[in-house]
Structure 1
Amino acid sequence: MRKPNKYLLFLLVTVMAYALVEYYRPRPIDWTPTYENDDRIPFGTQALFELLPSLMQQPAVKTVRLPVYNFLTETRPAGRSNYVFICRSFEADANDLRQLFRYVKQGNNCLISAYDMPDSLGKALGFKADLRTPDRADSSLRQNFVNPALKKPAGYRFSRDDGRNYLRINKTGGITVLGRNARQEPVFIRVQYGKGHFFIHNLPLAFTNYYLLNHPSSDYAIKALSYLPAWPTYWDEYQKQGRFDEDQQSILRYIWSQPALTWAYYLVVIGLLLYVIFAGKRTQRIIPVMEPPRNTSLDFVKDVGRLYFQQRDHDNMARKKVQYFLADLRERYGLNTNQLDHEFTETLARKSGLPTDQTAELVRLLRNAQKSVTLSEYDLLTLNGAIEKFNQTV
């Protein structure tokens, strides 16, 4: 049975452990200001979006997931309506603004609550969304309405805002200040444009869940929206979530929207990369190191010689020594070793290049060993010395 891959098991255990830790760990409060109408986090706007139909006395509020230009040219709302933008930065190009101006000029209303707005919008309407220097930051700065019927004696405090944002008015006619901060700087204005109005608000945080639910400033957003007439209302989500809603989102888009899934996705990708690097190559059994065959004939000769020496069978050893040496001469020089006579001696001396007297002494020892009845240890040593000397010389 094939063993399970240890790398895959490790990856699976790691992913499961991470999922369990993420599932059971306490969820920290997410203070990210998304302003999205489906976010329940403190700085989402789900609560306001759900209350808006009753405030506008409408059966429902339509969510817009298109750029301003596309929505106003493709939809062309029938009758008068409100168009609401609540976001961190209101972004619109020339085509968007041209259609938005046309929409309001025909008698509709547009509420924009954002910290950052395009200069082209401000120039056309006579204001500028500005910021004080960081040294003027004041989270305790209070906001209030100008209208005595809406004004709160103690004002409204938004502690999560640094109080640096305000609106600078560049013209006198056609602009009504609806709200100011404690520095008497405008933060909420109404600009008449044709038959309709622009409502410019510089504190989108005031419309979020945190300040709308169970907070001393919970009625601020309701009062601000009371300036809009009870008409059909369009709520923009394109500025915050793009074109696609939850039903149209791809799997990856949904994964990116969930921090836990995002980290799980990264973990899986990194694990697969490590698997490819360390275990993706072909797996096979380790090939053992095979040493080349050794020539053991010399060892065998030494072992045999040692055996004979230990048994002191000098005669047998000497005769085998002569026998093997003569066999070597036959193979090396092609000599006939049947007669170890004078002719054999001269031929061996000529072919081996040894002096004749040294060759004659070696042949004499060989001949005597063959003729002797028994050979002693001395005879063996003498014969072996002569043979070794011959081999070393040639």
Structure 2
Amino acid sequence: MKPNKYLLILLATIGAYVVFEYYRPKPLDWTPTYRNDTKIPFGTQALYELLPAVMQQPAVKSVRLPVYNFLTTEKLTGRSNYVFVSQNFKVDGNDLKQLLNYVRRGNNVFISAYDLPDTLGRVLGFKAEVKDPTKADTTLRQNLVNRQLRKPGGYNFFHDDGRNFLTVTKQTGVTVLGRNARNEPVFIRIRYGSGQFLVHNLPLAFTNYYVLDPKTSDYVSKALAYLPALPTYWDEYLKQGRFDEDQQSIFRYVWSQPALNWAYYIVVFGLVFYALFAGKRTQRVIPVVEAPRNTSVDFVKTVGRLYFQQGDHDNLARKRIRYFLADLRERYGLNTNNLDNEFTDSLAHKRGIPRDDARELVLLLRNAQKSISLSEYDLLTLNAAIEKFNQTA
């Protein structure tokens, strides 16, 4: 069997693209994922691996459940820490309620995110602010307030635009731990019940790029020093969802890899184009079927020519009148026994023609019926009048 050239072209294109993607240098991915399993600049694998030593714990557990599910199903013994580092801190009402209860019982929550919910801020007494885009400043320095933790000259996280800061709305129970060069709070501690919330709104400071940079590497350990040395839980649900890699489907993995994702779409669209174009070109030719001819009309024309050629004009004319009157009876429901004035009026009304035209046709039919013999001229005149009547329907 001869191979289809379109299919071969498609397979060759896919193979060439896969080889090209495999061997071409991979560009550095600057996407801020904050995931603890990636080594890209804005992942958090370095911090996650260093966290047990910082917290003086044998291990730190990664959590892949919503806050509500984790705090209601996990049997937590003793006090502990719960750490969140992400672009957005998205929690619903149930999550927030359980998180507040968790801290009220003497536990600690560390949150570093740009977008913080107003619901949490109203309860704890702060608000996450963002300056106008014209106020962006990548040279803005950050520093800790505690003199023992401060660094001369401060820290510059130049991938951050310096627009995010915190506004303290409650006078008691809130301590500012870090400020930027504009003296705006960026790191605060809120006492809540028997525990504390540590709220920080510059999560880029905890990514691989700045944790491994000697100029900023000590910032993380100083910021986390406000957490006591207790069992610590690290949230990954806000960044990776609920399922681990071994629980993900093959398509979830394919879509997470740019090269495989593009290859998947090329295969799908290639198959669609193949079905549309190649399938259309190789389909069997459909024969042209002529519409059935109306042989009854041909038969009538043949019989009419036969009568006319034989010169039997009288017989042909009377058959023409008989069939015409039968058509009037069937189509308009007229009584054709008496071709009088009443018949004429009914014909003109139902046909929608002037009464004078109807009267001339009826008079011609009546005279033809009374005639002893009809000539060729009479036949042609009668046929022309009937054809004119039919055409003006």
Same fold (TM over 0.5): yes
- Secondary structure of the structure 2 residue equivalent to 1:247: helix
Which residue in 1 is equivalent to 2:73?
Answer: 74
Opposite residue 35 of structure 2, the aligned amino acid is E
Q: Does 1:181 align with 2:216?
A: no
Q: Which residue of 2 aligns with 1:171?
A: 170
- Look up the match of 1:140: 139
Deviation of the 1:288 alpha carbon: 11
Partner residue, 2:305: none
Counterpart of 1:218 in structure 2 is 217
Q: Give how far 1:188 is off.
A: 0.4
Matches within 5 A, 1:15-34: 15-34=14-33
Report how far residue 41 of structure 1 moved: 0.5
Aligned-residue offset at 1:76? 3.2
1:59 is matched by which residue type in structure 2?
P
Residues 67-98 of structure 1: per-residue CA shift (max 9 Å, x gap): 10010001031111100000001011111000
Task: Give the letter aligned to residue 70 of structure 2.
Answer: F
Task: Report the secondary structure of 1:280's partner residue.
Answer: helix
- Residue identity matched to 1:34: T
How far, CA to CA, are the matches of 2:201 and 2:267 in structure 1?
Answer: 43
Q: Per-residue deviation at 1:136?
A: 1.0
CA distance in 2, matches of 1:22, 1:150: 47
Give yes or no for the alignment of 1:120 onto 2:123: no
Q: Give 2:316's aligned residue.
A: none
Alignment CA distance shift 1:265-1:215 (3 Å)? farther
21-30 or 140-149: which moved more?
21-30
1:343-378 CA distance string (max 9 Å, x none): xxxxxxxxxxxxxxxxxxxxxxxxxxxxxxxxxxxx
The whole-number CA distance in structure 2 between the counterparts of 1:230 and 1:135 is: 42
What is the CA–CA distance in structure 2 between the aligned matches of 1:215 and 1:33, rounded to whole Å?
20
SS of the aligned residue for 1:222 comes to helix
CA distance in 1 between partners of 2:64 and 2:44 (Å): 16
Amino acid of the structure 2 residue aligned with 1:91: K
**Partner residue in 1 for 2:318:** none
Superposition pairs of residues 237-316 of structure 1, within 5 angstroms: 237-281=236-280, 283=282
SS state at 2:245 partner: coil
In the other structure, the counterpart of 2:9 is 10
Alpha-carbon distance between aligned partners in 1 of 2:91 and 2:282, rounded to the nearest angstrom: 58
* Corresponding residue of 1:108: 107
Structure 1 spans left out of the alignment, 5+ residues = 290-394
2:239 partner letter:
K
Distance in 2 (alpha carbons) for counterparts of 1:3 and 1:250 = 37
**Paired position in structure 2 for 1:228:** 227
Amino acid in structure 2 at the alignment position of 1:171: K
SS of 1:219's partner is: helix
Structure 1 residue identity aligned to 2:220: A
Look up the match of 1:312: none
> Which residue of the partner structure matches residue 154 of structure 1?
153
Whether 1:198 and 2:197 are equivalent positions in the alignment is yes
Off by >4 Å, runs of 4+ in structure 1:
284-289
Q: Which residue of 2 aligns with 1:35?
A: 34
Work out the percentage of aligned pairs sharing the same amino acid.
69
Shift of 1:279: 2.4
State the AA in 2 paired with 1:36: R
Q: Deviations over 1:143-172 (max 9, x none)?
A: 000011110001000100000000000011
CA distance in 2, matches of 1:288, 1:131: 71
- The CA deviation at 1:282 is 8.6
The CA deviation at 1:111 is 0.3
Q: Distance in 2 between matches of 1:280 and 1:81?
A: 64
Distance 1:240 1:287 in 2: 57
Distance in structure 2 (CA, Å) of the matches to 1:127 and 1:182: 20
Give the Cα–Cα distance (whole angstroms) in 2 for the partners of residues 139 and 41 of structure 1.
Answer: 21
Structure 1, residues 267-306: CA drift from partner, whole Å, max 9, x if none? 11110111111123594677999xxxxxxxxxxxxxxxxx
Rounded Cα–Cα distance in structure 1 between residues aligned with 2:100 and 2:287 = 82
Question: Which one is further off, 214-223 or 195-204?
Answer: 214-223
Structure 2 residue identity aligned to 1:154: G
Residue type at the aligned position of 1:218: S
Question: 2:51 maps to which residue?
Answer: 52
Residue 215 of structure 1 and its aligned partner are, at CA, apart by: 3.9
Which deviates further from its counterpart, 140-149 or 57-66?
57-66
Q: Secondary structure at the match of 1:184?
A: coil
Gapped runs of 5+ residues in structure 2? 289-393
Distance across 1 between alignment mates of 2:153 and 2:71: 41
Which whole-Å CA distance do the structure 2 matches of 1:210 and 1:216 have between them? 11
Partners of 2:160 and 2:266 in 1: CA distance: 36
- The DSSP-based 3-state class of the residue aligned with 2:217 is coil
- Structure with higher Rg: it is 1
Give the Cα separation in 2 of the matches to 1:132 and 1:284.
64
SS in 2 for 1:149: coil
> Quick one: distance in 2 between partners of 1:282 and 1:11?
16
CA distance in structure 2 between the aligned counterparts of 1:123 and 1:7, rounded to whole angstroms? 63
RMSD value, Cα? 1.8
Question: 1:85 — aligned with what?
Answer: 84
TM-score normalised according to structure 2 size = 0.71
Structure 1 CA distance, aligned partners of 2:41 and 2:136?
22
Q: What is the letter of the counterpart of residue 169 of structure 2?
A: N
Corresponding position of 1:302: none
Residue 321 of structure 1 aligns with which residue?
A: none
Q: With the length of structure 1 as denominator, give the TM-score of the two structures.
A: 0.71
Deviation at 1:125, TM superposition (A): 0.2
* Post-superposition CA distance 1:297-350 (Å, at most 9, x none): xxxxxxxxxxxxxxxxxxxxxxxxxxxxxxxxxxxxxxxxxxxxxxxxxxxxxx
Q: Which residue of 2 aligns with 1:310?
A: none
Amino acid at match of 1:272: L
